[in-house]
């Protein structure tokens, strides 16, 4: 798989440092990054940044996303309220691969307080470079949406 041409990214204050590093990491790979904030480590409400990332991905289906907060639970829960979003909380590289291969996840959620920056880069790289396997997994993915 080739990397997506555009990545949407967002974080709250707990994920701001990781987001800044990941934006530069992606830009070094010549990937265009749509940064939906936050733009400082001042306390903010994560849904204010999650919803614009999800809306952008819903409007641009070939785009993938990255969301970062302290535990990644808040951003994942919020993102998965969107019908066309399959956000996966990934704290290990193997989970990011399986999220793509089996679940066709289109957003990776990174728990900044529980993994290193190097682990975050590895997880993102794996997530963005792994293809959905389809096959028996497609039927399952087709059953995710509730409406």
Q: Which residues are catalytic?
A: 69, 102
Spatial contact of 11 and 39, defined as CB atoms under 8 Å apart:
no
42: left (phi over 0), alpha (psi -120 to 50) or beta: beta
C-alpha–C-alpha distance, residues 128 and 43, integer Å: 29
Sequence-ordered strand ranges (E) for 23-136: 32-35, 64-69, 87-89, 107-111
**Which among 6, 38, 50, 25 is positioned nearest to 124, based on CA atoms?**
25
């Amino acid at each position: 798989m080739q990397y997506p041409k555009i990545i949407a990214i967002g974080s709250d204050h707990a994920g701001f440092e990781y987001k800044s590093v990941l934006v530069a990491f992606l830009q070094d790979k010549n990937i265009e990054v749509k940064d939906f904030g936050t733009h400082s480590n001042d306390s903010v409400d994560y849904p204010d940044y999650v919803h614009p990332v999800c809306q952008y991905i819903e409007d641009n289906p070939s785009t993938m996303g990255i969301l970062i907060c302290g535990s990644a639970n808040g951003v994942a829960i919020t993102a998965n309220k969107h019908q066309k979003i399959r956000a996966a909380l990934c704290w290990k590289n193997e989970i990011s691969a399986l999220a793509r291969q089996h679940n066709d996840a289109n957003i990776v959620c990174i728990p900044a307080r529980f993994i290193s920056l190097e682990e975050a880069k590895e997880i993102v790289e794996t997530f963005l470079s792994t293809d959905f396997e389809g096959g028996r997994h497609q039927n399952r993915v087709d059953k995710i949406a509730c409406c």
